[in-house]
Structure 1
Amino acid sequence: MDPDALTEAIEGLPNDEASGALLQVRGSAGQWEGTSGVANIHTGSPVPIRGRFRIGSMTKTFVATAALQLVAKRRLSLDRTVQSYLPDLLPADYAPVTVRQLLTYTSGLPGVPIDHKDPDWFLANRFRTWTPAELFDLAFTGRDMLFEPGTEQRYGNIDYLVLGAVIERVTGRPYGDAVRDGIIRPLGLTGTVVPGTDTQIHGPHARGYEENDGTYTDITEANPTFQWAAAEMISNAPDLDRFLVALFSGRLLPPAQTALLFEVPNVPAYDGDTNPANNPRAHLGHGLAKFVMGKVEFWGKTGDRPGYNNGMAATRDLSRRAVFSVNTLHMGGEVQPEITERIIAAVAGLARPAEQR
């Protein structure tokens, strides 16, 4: 581990891309933590290293773990269909979709057709409460499946929204209770919450902003129900590191279910065209994604919400683990912020080209 490279990766904030960032690295390869930029554009207060942030799609790893805990208890079956658990959820003409296919994003279900990271849409809807039924109506009404279940992998929120509904049917309780009872409380994750309709981030945190022509709109507060079981949670770096250690080391799941976390289906990734020969291979397992950086293989999950771009990852032996959060100033977009790319490269020990230094 190169502390200078880690420092360099997050320095120079605020800039026109981000207002602040935090990075925590742990493991036998070394320990390092640091912040850059400001938690509040107007007061200039520093980013708290243990500050909480909206973890976005990193929520999916918690939900996958909760589902696999139910599998281990034989309360949920990977090879039973969604239709058998929730007969009225999917349209009658949809092919059978299994719980395993939800976990691995191979269901073929169409997603909710709303760009929820479009600034105009987000600002108009940020405090609205959505029900899962409303999300499913938007996703499925009058829409066909994208591909035959189990034949391709397409990342999106819909699989984990449906998985949340299946968990609720099996347990008879909100899906968040399964996450709290199976993960948050046993591990003592005091900075981690399933917020429901709560619009605030409680405790120390850096604020999120959307910048437009020099005007900063504070977007920290938002109702997370549109993301629900796919991307609603809040956490911090120490909690996420503790979660990764417990998950990889088998404290949360028996060996058979722990192994599934790292099992990637042997299918192509869906790209929307009719030529499967040009598709890359799937890289997502049952709640974790594989990232190969140089000679280092990481497993983890990224996630973002307006104002927050984050990631957590570790090597299988836990010798190198990292959690980061970047307070981006422009929501949406297909390209990762440059600072995020710098952080990933520094954690993996990759040298960047001189023109990017």
Structure 2
Amino acid sequence: MKTRTSLLTAAVLVAGVAAGPAVLPAAASVPAATAARATAEQSPDTALEAAIAGLPSADATAALVRVGGKEGVWRGSSGVHDLRTGRPADPAARFRAGSVTKVFTAAVALQLAAEGRLDLDRSARSYLPELIPASYAGVTVRQLLNHTHGIPAPDFPGTTVEEAYANRFRVHDAEDMVRSATSKRPEFAPGERQHYLNIGYTIAGLLIERVTHDSYEHQVARRVLGPLGLRDTYFPGTNPRITGPHNHGYQTMRLDDGTTGLRDVSVWGTTDGWAAGDVISTTADLERFTHALFGGRVVRGPLLEEMFTLPEVTDVGTGKPAAYAVGLSMKVLGGREVWGKTGGRWGYNAAIASTRDGSRTLVYSVNSTDAKGRDMNRTAEKIMVAAYGRP
């Protein structure tokens, strides 16, 4: 099994896990004085201020927001750094951006395609013949990136949040996850439907490593993070902690005494996400990345259009038209197309978004108390509607 580089030794990890309380009181017990600390810079926007006011609440303990573009600039934060002290949320804090990672992965894959090192129409098996079985020989690189590959999700231990929490420090190997997924029957023939899953981007990360003879993390750093000066964005490897300043994340779950409440889940391994969902960043860094991406400074030339081209298929679950392109997804808000990507890790929801012309960009981090819930977090939804309008 290939284990990825850790930022902490096992001894330090165990010591860190043992330190500090895990269970905290519900948000309602936080002093009222900490409930709303929204601040705005430059263009006032009462809708955005209202969207993040009143935190912590039942659905979120903090929110950080940056809106940019020629339609106006607004920055705000609300909520608390942690529920125990009630300190105001740090607007420059790092956070887990979850599936926003996929945009970085897609951008590097498209750069490699532009260099002729990765062919979007070539089968993934042709690059990884020892890993991808013949039953998935028809899956192309493009289908991995736009979720039309038909490969099911790998198996993970447990099905509840409590079971996930118990396994939060388990290290998942990318190749083992691919073997688990591809040992199953295809969900559908490649290119026939769309099903949003992480596994396509796990394989994409391995493809990047195969054609560059380098680590996925170093390729993203060399091609994107370094050139754009994203100094607060990094990949945690097997380190379950967020290094540097960060606002704590919480998850509603069953506690040790049998009651339901909030547990501090800031320390949680993300190796199950890897190239599909483990990046840690800040709103400032993600805003800079968004402007550069939509401005054609990350992926250049015709290949950028891959990120704005929806496959002409339907979603396997809903039957609705496909909503995911390569890296990005699209939603009509306020009567116009908004492209971007949301992400969720336990305790944290995040998103980047922009109109196609970059005239209005949005980046947010919301410390959600049910970040992997079936429905969109209420605070995050209010932010999106305040920035762009209703669907």
How high is the TM-score relative to the length of structure 2?
0.84
Task: In structure 2, give the amino acid aligned to 1:161.
Answer: T
Task: In structure 1, give the amino acid aligned to 2:114.
Answer: A
Q: Is 1:302 the counterpart of 2:336 in the alignment?
A: no
Q: Which residue of 2 aligns with 1:168?
A: 209
Q: Which residue of 2 aligns with 1:200?
A: 241
> After the TM superposition, which residues 1-357 of structure 1 pair with which residues of structure 2 at under 5 Å, given as runs?
3-114=45-156, 118-141=160-183, 143-212=184-253, 213=259, 215-271=261-317, 279-350=319-390
Instruction: Summarize the Cα distance change of 1:34–1:116 in structure 2 as closer, same or farther, 3 Å threshold.
Output: farther
Distance between the aligned counterparts of 1:300 and 1:350, measured in 2?
16
Instruction: Summarize the Cα distance change of 1:115–1:238 in structure 2 as closer, same or farther, 3 Å threshold.
Output: farther
Q: Which residue of 2 aligns with 1:275?
A: none
**Cα drift, residue 307 of structure 1:** 0.1
Task: In structure 2, give the amino acid aligned to 1:325.
Answer: S
Distance between the aligned counterparts of 1:288 and 1:5, measured in 2?
26
Instruction: Summarize the Cα distance change of 1:284–1:169 in structure 2 as closer, same or farther, 3 Å threshold.
Output: same
Distance between the aligned counterparts of 2:104 and 2:215, measured in 1?
14
SS of alignment partner, residue 290 of structure 2: helix
Distance between the aligned counterparts of 2:197 and 2:114, measured in 1?
25
Distance between the aligned counterparts of 1:2 and 1:266, measured in 2?
40
Q: Which residue of 1 aligns with 2:34?
A: none
**Deviation per residue, 1:177-225 (Å, 9 max, x gap):** 1111110000000110011112221222111112344643211112211
**Cα drift, residue 331 of structure 1:** 4.4
User: What 5-or-longer segments of structure 2 have no aligned partner?
Assistant: 1-42, 254-258
**Cα drift, residue 138 of structure 1:** 2.3
Task: In structure 1, give the amino acid aligned to 2:359.
Answer: S
SS of alignment partner, residue 381 of structure 2: helix
Instruction: Summarize the Cα distance change of 1:331–1:258 in structure 2 as closer, same or farther, 3 Å threshold.
Output: closer
Distance between the aligned counterparts of 1:314 and 1:35, measured in 2?
20
Instruction: Summarize the Cα distance change of 1:216–1:333 in structure 2 as closer, same or farther, 3 Å threshold.
Output: closer
Distance between the aligned counterparts of 1:186 and 1:246, measured in 2?
10
Report if aligned partners of 1:2, 1:349 keep a CA contact under 8 Å in 2.
no
Q: Which residue of 2 aligns with 1:355?
A: none
**Deviation per residue, 1:100-138 (Å, 9 max, x gap):** 111111101111233878322221111111111221232
Distance between the aligned counterparts of 2:110 and 2:157, measured in 1?
30
Distance between the aligned counterparts of 2:383 and 2:80, measured in 1?
17
Task: In structure 1, give the amino acid aligned to 2:149.
Answer: S
Q: Which residue of 2 aligns with 1:274?
A: none
Runs of 4+ with deviation above 4 angstroms:
212-215
**Cα drift, residue 332 of structure 1:** 2.9
SS of alignment partner, residue 225 of structure 1: coil
SS of alignment partner, residue 176 of structure 1: helix
Distance between the aligned counterparts of 1:196 and 1:29, measured in 2?
38
SS of alignment partner, residue 341 of structure 2: strand
Relative contact order higher in (CA < 8 Å, ≥ 6 apart): 1
**Cα drift, residue 2 of structure 1:** 6.5
Distance between the aligned counterparts of 2:234 and 2:382, measured in 1?
29
**Cα drift, residue 90 of structure 1:** 2.1
SS of alignment partner, residue 224 of structure 1: coil
Provide the aligned length of Structure 1 versus Structure 2.
Answer: 344
Distance between the aligned counterparts of 1:117 and 1:317, measured in 2?
41
**Cα drift, residue 348 of structure 1:** 0.7
Distance between the aligned counterparts of 1:84 and 1:288, measured in 2?
25
Q: Which residue of 1 aligns with 2:6?
A: none
Distance between the aligned counterparts of 1:97 and 1:214, measured in 2?
43
Task: In structure 1, give the amino acid aligned to 2:203.
Answer: V
Report if aligned partners of 2:44, 2:74 keep a CA contact under 8 Å in 1.
no
Task: In structure 2, give the amino acid aligned to 1:179.
Answer: V
SS of alignment partner, residue 67 of structure 1: helix
Instruction: Summarize the Cα distance change of 1:134–1:298 in structure 2 as closer, same or farther, 3 Å threshold.
Output: same
SS of alignment partner, residue 135 of structure 2: coil
**Cα drift, residue 350 of structure 1:** 4.2
Distance between the aligned counterparts of 1:140 and 1:130, measured in 2?
16
Report if aligned partners of 1:18, 1:328 keep a CA contact under 8 Å in 2.
yes
